[in-house]
Amino acid sequence: MKTMSVGEAEGQLPQLLAQAFNGETIILKDGDRAVTLCPGNLLDLDEDSPELAAELLKAAKGPFTPYSRADLEAVAARVWREKHA
């Protein structure tokens, strides 16, 4: 395990990541706060978090649904009435 300050690690991130990928645990400290770079497997959404996968799919599809022609005409008519009232 290697511990270093953020200042010491500055400019060494590619090397530190390579060391972490090769199995070494690295702790980066910034005052009282610390972050650990440790070896591990990539996140498999199906296996590790079905809830996260569902939320990501929901976000990718977006909250909007296509409007019908009638919906768009109603909105246009309302805007026209409000502007010309």
Domain boundaries, the chain: 2-37, 45-83
8 Å CB contact between 11 and 34: no
SS (H, E, C) the chain: CEEEEHHHHCCCHHHHHHHHHCCCCEEEEECCEEEEECCCCCCCHHHHCHHHHHHHHHHHHCCCCCCCHHHHHHHHHHHHHHHCC
Per-residue confidence of the chain (85 residues) as pLDDT tens digits? 899 999 999 889 889 888 988 888 899 999 999 988 887 766 665 566 777 777 777 777 766 667 778 888 888 888 888 888 7
Measured between alpha carbons, how far is 22 from 14 in angstroms, rounded to an integer?
A: 12
pTM for the full model?
A: 0.46
Measured between alpha carbons, how far is 80 from 78 in angstroms, rounded to an integer?
A: 5
- Residue 68 CA, distance from chain mean position: 33
- State residue 65's pLDDT score: 62
